[in-house]
Structure 1
Amino acid sequence: MRRLLVALPFLTALCLATPSVQAAEPTLRSLWSVQMLRQPALDRQIAGARDLGLRHVRIAVRWNEVEKSMGRYDWGVTDQRLRPIIAAGLSPLLTLIGPNDNYDAPNGGNAVAAASKDSVAGFARFAAAVVQRYNGPEFRYEIWNEPNLRTFWKPNPDGKLYAMLAASSCQAMRAVKPDAKIYVLGMNGTPIDKDVLGHYGTWSKAALQPDMISCASGFSLHPYGRRLPESYLSDLNRIDDMLDAGGQKKDVIISEWGTPVAKKWNLTADDQINHDTRILLTGAMAGEYTNLFTMMAPGANNDDSEQTFGLLDFNGNPKPSYAIVKNLLNRVGDLPFKSICSPCEGSVYGLRFEGPKREASYVLWTNDGTGSIPRPSDLGSKAQIVDLVTGRSQALPQGPLAASVRPVLVVGGPS
């Protein structure tokens, strides 16, 4: 059963001093990541990640860009992308993805995934070569992207075939670096989502094969399709039960999740601001590495929802969510935290951060409408409320702490 990062029952947490927190406990900076795309300008994406104060990013390494002719690796394109990221002090989650025409489209047709034993063996060699070339203390590796969808696994998703490829690749990677952090599944949605076309529960059951599970460090998920990000928290135990194959407890990470602006889903620009921020906070509340899609919008056509993701627009201009993430990381990004409620009464969610002198700060939000919690006794008389978009602070009014769908930061001070 999953345990959220909860310090104490909510009312008790407000009234009693919280025990000092060990340094090993998670921080927002240790958990948060952002997606890098090949296009638009990668240098602007890297500059944005550094300006935010992030430590982690995710980027794809494509088999067909490296092994352009069978058995010969050309790292030129991949080096051009990864060297600046690593030089900037960012630790990547490298998503290894195929297919490769040399193996999977021998007759000149459209490449399909893992079409033969030669293809599986070729991808495993490629995966091992990636680990050999790109590695570091906080590097992570993910085997494929959303193999449960036809978009990324043609002609039809096949859980058992994916498991064979993932197990072979993971074993080859471990032969190079035994302690590598290797994640499998990389699936769109979660194993307990509505089983549309068999792409979720059915695919997951087929994919969860012992050889793959025993080799992997953990599982990666893309929990899209939720009206409210916080619904992920209520699914954690069911997800764990599904992934707890053979009693082998494994790490779970959110390797991709973001919010577009989309009329067809009634998602506005304000929804994107609020949801993207709450996706990161929800992942933190679950204690999971969480990668936000994306750093920068993939395109400039705002009528295409796929081009509206991002903390930066296509021209590199920050959206309000960029400022919120930056202010949270600047203010409390390195402080250990615990959940105070998930949710509290009235659908209020909250994280409590503890500073070096045990001063408390709180991030609060709701998943719908407005709410409030009693004023915590550990805030002190000089507490301030921070506008996370502008970064400006003002004295915190007396009385309950108000929360809304846009997260708010309350910074404690001396009594």
Structure 2
Amino acid sequence: MPSRSRAVLAALLGLFLVPLFVAPADAAERRSCAKSVKDRDGDCIANTRDRDIDGDRIPNHRDSDMDGDRKRNSRDSDVDGDRVPNARDRQPFGVQVKGTRYGVAAPGRVRIARTTKQAVAGLPRGLRVPRAFLGVVAEDALAETGPAGAPAMPRIAASGVGLLRQTFSWRNIELRPGVLDFSAYDAFVADAARRGIDLLPILFDPPAFRSSAPSGQTRMTYPPASDAAFAMFAAILVARYGPTGSFWSARPDVPRRPIRAWQVWNEPNLKAYWGGKPDAVAYTRMLKTVHRAIRSVDPSATVVTAGLPESRLGDSPRRFLARMYRAGAKGHFQALALNPYATTADGVLEILVAMRRQMNKAKDRAAMWVTEIGWATTGTSSTYDLGEKAHAAVVTQTVALLARNAKRLNLRGVVYYAWRDLPVYEGGRDFWGLHTGLLSQDGTPKPAYRALTSLLRRLAR
């Protein structure tokens, strides 16, 4: 090979082999700088510019203990270890949060947007997505449903959001063995249909007499005692609300909008939702049983896995999915659901790209679906608490970025959590997840609401 060709080939290889994450300097280099408050890992890169503050080779946007002090970010009052409390720190995780800059960027892939205008910059002309591409979780839409419908539903429809992800609680439907009460869900399904909103039910939360939980255990959700019983519950719902459902024939006054996708369980890779011991094999066994039941009633239904989040409170999505594949899950779901919480849009994309790569390696052509993601505007010292301006930009940039990459990822859609801020749970305590709403508790729109509605008008087919 001529020397010039070898040089060109070497240059090209260099471009393609640049790692997505640059590891910290080697040990010799690290010793050349002393560790300090401004340089936690002693790599000669100030924390404000360091994409791995504690030098553990986990990028900040994916590191649940950013400064390496053995305190999870959500409970760390000083997440970057600079001895300035988050509440007074203009740089609580490496860059300014409530000034002109915010977030922690993954290197090189996406520039962090500072304004909502920047968040949508570069969107291809003519890019369109289905209305149901963006969904929300809106607990009040079910809780407040009455004869006239839920007050939230018209506003959700007017925003351009086309899908609601809602738990269809087994516990709240089967009140006693064999006694089913669909009244609340009938009203909810009718209300959504009248507004032209699709539904993604989460099949979840067995009643005590159907659960494998020990007697008196209420702190965690346990899997059902019988997969067959859970599958029967799923089949009953499909037979009621699916394409040939009895609900539609009994209610000719309601526009026909059958439910075509069903999500099986919630976050089984976390201890809290699988009896303290996540078990991918057991979840796969349940998924396969429920998949057969759903598709026996609606052969073209989309069966969606439970959303898998990144968390140290259980198995990682990659490890959990690998175990699912080994247990024979491939072919028993039409969409893999992920809850890819990250501090930036770029971090979300990085998670999805890695999971798509894992699916491709398994020769699995199933779709992906982001079924939960969100950031807070106020209320806590968490790294997910961005302030209203940054919140609007991050939310908008994430939806825009995923819309741009939907085709290559085979991404079905994105569900934002949540529609409205929530009060502190009875007996609970405040945390960032209660402040992720597009609306405040009193219904006042946040900047993210206005930014998203504008984006959705631009993307609407």
Q: What is the 5 A alignment of 1:5-404?
A: 26-27=128-129, 29-38=131-140, 41=144, 43-104=150-211, 108-110=215-217, 112-114=221-223, 116=225, 119-135=226-242, 136=257, 139-189=260-310, 197-209=314-326, 211-224=328-341, 226-244=342-360, 246-261=362-377, 262-265=380-383, 267-287=386-406, 288=411, 289-299=413-423, 304-330=431-457, 332-335=458-461
Deviation for aligned residue 1:172: 0.2
Give the secondary-structure state (helix, strand or coil) at the position aligned to 1:286: helix
Between stretches 167-176 and 241-250, larger displacement belongs to: 241-250
For the 8 Å contact 1:170–1:212, the answer to whether it is kept is no
Q: What does residue 355 of structure 1 align with?
A: none
For the 8 Å contact 1:56–1:90, the answer to whether it is kept is yes
Q: Which amino acid aligns with 2:322?
A: K
Could you give the per-residue CA deviations for residues 321-367 of structure 1, whole angstroms, max 9, x where no partner exists? Answer: 1111122223x1325xxxxxxxxxxxxxxxxxxxxxxxxxxxxxxxx
Q: Which amino acid aligns with 1:259?
A: W
Give the secondary-structure state (helix, strand or coil) at the position aligned to 1:77: helix
Distance (Å, rounded) in 2 between the aligned partners of 1:300 and 1:195: 24
Q: Which amino acid aligns with 1:161?
A: A
Distance (Å, rounded) in 2 between the aligned partners of 1:246 and 1:58: 28
Between stretches 177-186 and 38-47, larger displacement belongs to: 38-47
Q: Which amino acid aligns with 2:287?
A: A
Unaligned runs of 5+ in 2: 1-123, 243-256
Structure number with bigger Rg: 2
Distance (Å, rounded) in 2 between the aligned partners of 1:227 and 1:166: 30
TM-score normalised by structure 1 residue count? 0.67
Distance (Å, rounded) in 2 between the aligned partners of 1:326 and 1:198: 35
Deviation for aligned residue 1:230: 1.8
Aligned residues between the structures? 307
Unaligned runs of 5+ in 1: 1-18, 336-415
Greater strand fraction, Structure 1 or Structure 2? 1
Percent identity, please: 21
Deviation for aligned residue 1:199: 4.1
Deviation for aligned residue 1:32: 1.2
Deviation for aligned residue 1:102: 0.9
Could you give the per-residue CA deviations for residues 104-159 of structure 1, whole angstroms, max 9, x where no partner exists? Answer: 2586322652353xx21111111111111123466321111111112222232111
Q: Which amino acid aligns with 1:34?
A: V
For the 8 Å contact 2:287–2:332, the answer to whether it is kept is no
Deviation for aligned residue 1:234: 3.6
Give the secondary-structure state (helix, strand or coil) at the position aligned to 1:214: coil
Distance (Å, rounded) in 2 between the aligned partners of 1:234 and 1:83: 38
Q: What does residue 408 of structure 1 align with?
A: none
TM-score normalised by structure 2 residue count? 0.61
User: In 2 relative to 1, CA 212–227 (structure 1 residues): closer, same or farther, beyond 3 Å?
Assistant: same
User: In 2 relative to 1, CA 163–106 (structure 1 residues): closer, same or farther, beyond 3 Å?
Assistant: closer
Q: Which amino acid aligns with 2:239?
A: Q
Distance (Å, rounded) in 2 between the aligned partners of 1:243 and 1:181: 17
Deviation for aligned residue 1:31: 1.4
RMSD between superposed Cα atoms in Å: 2.9
For the 8 Å contact 1:257–1:279, the answer to whether it is kept is no
Give the secondary-structure state (helix, strand or coil) at the position aligned to 2:168: strand
Q: Which amino acid aligns with 2:460?
A: D
Q: Which amino acid aligns with 1:58?
A: R
Distance (Å, rounded) in 1 between the aligned partners of 2:326 and 2:294: 18
